[in-house]
Chain A
Amino acid sequence: MATYRELLAQVKSEIEEISTVAAHERLASEDGSLFVDVREPDEWDEGHIPEAVYTGRGRLEQRIEGLVPDKSRPLVVYCSAGNRSAFSVKVLEELGYENVVNLASGFSDWKRNGYEVTIPRALTPEQRSRYSRHLLIPEVGEEGQQRLLDAHVLLVGAGGLGSPASLYLAAAGVGTVGIVDADVVDESNLQRQIVHSTERLGEPKVASAKRTLEALNPDVRVVTFQERLTSENVDRILGEGWDVIVDGADNFPTRYLVNDASVWSGIPVVHGSIFRFEGQVTVFDPARGGPCYRCLFPQPPPPELAPSCAEGGVLGVLPGIIGSIQANEALKLVLGRGDSLAGRLLLFDALGTTLDEVTVRRNPECPVCGDHPTITEYVDYVEFCNSAASRPEPALAGGSAEDGAA
């Protein structure tokens, strides 16, 4: 039976090791090497090699394939003195990693050399517990959770779609949630708008939502705009620095306004809309090559063809489903993970429980995001929607698309 020292010596003789100087050269040359930190969480929190990934030794075997799917990628494994990492190199080789080396003198020597060190902003013990299910997912982890905590997501509308979307974003720890809505809570909202409650009847929706979200998660700062989004205030509101907009508006003028403003400010929009048993959801992200709302629908339909939920009704759970998909897309955009719905429109039919997908292409002729835009400043969106509506035939003219706040 070998002692620890004998075992360590044997392992060290079987693996490849590099010096601190050589490791530093690899980092500086950006040759694709990935540094893997296998120390304890508190050691990581006190400082680590820049751009290293963290996985404690205890979960190394479980987590490494999620962190590093490419087994040919060069890995430099380190701990504080090069011993624990030596055993980890051995394990990684057994898992099929082809190009793994041990940092022989560890992180202590790295620091002694005066090389750069990143000190992570650590989650508090309460946050570790609250977000533990996120921390376990390789695609989120501690870095992703920090991104969520740093993120700013703006919701247009605190109604049917904004309710589930805001609840899940707040629960996920999105650090700043903005809400634009001019309405007050009405009894007819409560069949689906689950961020509000009976005791909030008559209260501004933004205030009601703020109370619910901050009670759900004290990490979240809720910024409220109790106003209707207009050409006059949109630059001020969007100018507060949002990473993603979740559009749950209830009328066409606001939809087109949100679109034009987001195209010009380069903010991606997670779009959802609902009617009776049907929902549509997609992502507009022209700043990254995707289409915009005007590429999909250059013109709004006449009011007769586009009744609002107030006129046509909606199944209460439908915005729960569509709004949750919107939250999913917003979280992915913040995390920079997965494939977004940009370029794809999902059509959900709650009656048949079917999900269809159609392709949405960027229109090079689009008046706002196209190659030669003809609309470069805000227009009168109510007028735009009504004039589009009055074109087809006299019977379809009239009506108003401006009623109701987002």
Chain B
Amino acid sequence: MAAVRIPPTLRAEVGGARELAADGETVGEVLDDLVERYPPLGGQLLQDGELAPFVNVYVGGEDVRTRDGLDTRVGELEQLILLPAMAGGAL
């Protein structure tokens, strides 16, 4: 069971939640659990079964791409941060 931080751009897909609990021992399993419950998330997080290139996922503050990608282990109660790029600044 991990706590997944949902960025503002994806909250519409999960009924507005800022954080969701999800099951799984790896990043891939945690994301699969979320996508199963909130199917519209699928196209926004995954691409051809891999993490979409415009989304970063952090476990323990580290980008999972610098670890084992979707196979990165997620500890019990560990926080998983989903982070898409944001452009906003000035307008």
Contacts and interface: CB of A to CB of B under 8 A. Distances in A.
Interface of A: 157-162, 181, 183, 193, 247-252, 255, 272-278, 280, 296-302, 305-310, 312, 314, 319, 347, 349, 351-352, 356-361, 388, 391-393, 395-396, 401, 404-406
B63 A248 contact: no
A401 B8 contact: no
A297 B85 contact: yes
B54 A310 contact: no
Q: Chain B interface mostly helix, strand, loop or mixed?
A: mixed
A193 B87 CA distance: 17
B70 interface: no
Contact of B9 (A157, A296, A307, A393): A307
Contacts of B49: none
Given A302-B54, A358-B63, A396-B43, A275 B9 contact: yes
Contact of B88 (A273, A298, A302): A273
By CB atoms of chain A within 10 A, which of B52, B56, B86, B90 has the most?
Answer: B90
By Cβ-Cβ distance, the 5 closest A-B pairs, closest first, are: A159-B90, A157-B90, A301-B54, A250-B91, A248-B89
B54 A297 contact: yes
Contact of B84 (A301, A308, A391, A401): A301
B77 to A, nearest CB: 16
A160 B89 contact: yes
B18 A352 contact: yes
A278 B86 contact: yes
Contacts, number: 136
A403 to B, nearest CB: 8
A360 B66 CA distance: 10
B4 to A, nearest CB: 13
Interface string B45-70: 00100001111101001110010000
Contact of B89 (A159, A352, A360): A159
A294 B43 CA distance: 22
Interface of B: 5, 7-10, 18, 43-44, 47, 52-56, 58, 61-63, 66, 81, 83-91
Nearest to A272: B89
Given A161-B90, A250-B87, A309-B88, A299 B58 contact: no
B43 A275 contact: no
B52 to A, nearest CB: 6
27 contacts: A158-B90, A193-B90, A247-B89, A248-B90, A250-B89, A251-B87, A252-B85, A255-B85, A255-B87, A274-B86, A274-B88, A297-B85, A299-B54, A300-B87, A301-B54, A305-B54, A306-B86, A309-B88, A310-B91, A312-B88, A314-B88, A349-B18, A359-B62, A359-B66, A392-B47, A405-B90, A405-B91
The winner among B10, B85, B91 for most chain A CB atoms within 10 A is B91
Contacts of B84: 301, 305-306
Contacts of B47: 391-392
Contact of B87 (A273, A360, A388): A273
A306 B90 contact: no
A253 to B, nearest CB: 9
Nearest to B5: A356
Contacts of B58: 358-359
Contacts of B87: 249-252, 255, 273, 300, 306, 308, 401
B8 A275 contact: yes
Contact of B8 (A312, A358, A359): A312
Contact of B90 (A160, A296, A359, A395): A160
A278 B8 contact: yes
Contacts of A305: 9-10, 44, 54, 84
B54 A273 contact: no
A297 B90 contact: no
A343 B88 CA distance: 21
Nearest to A186: B91
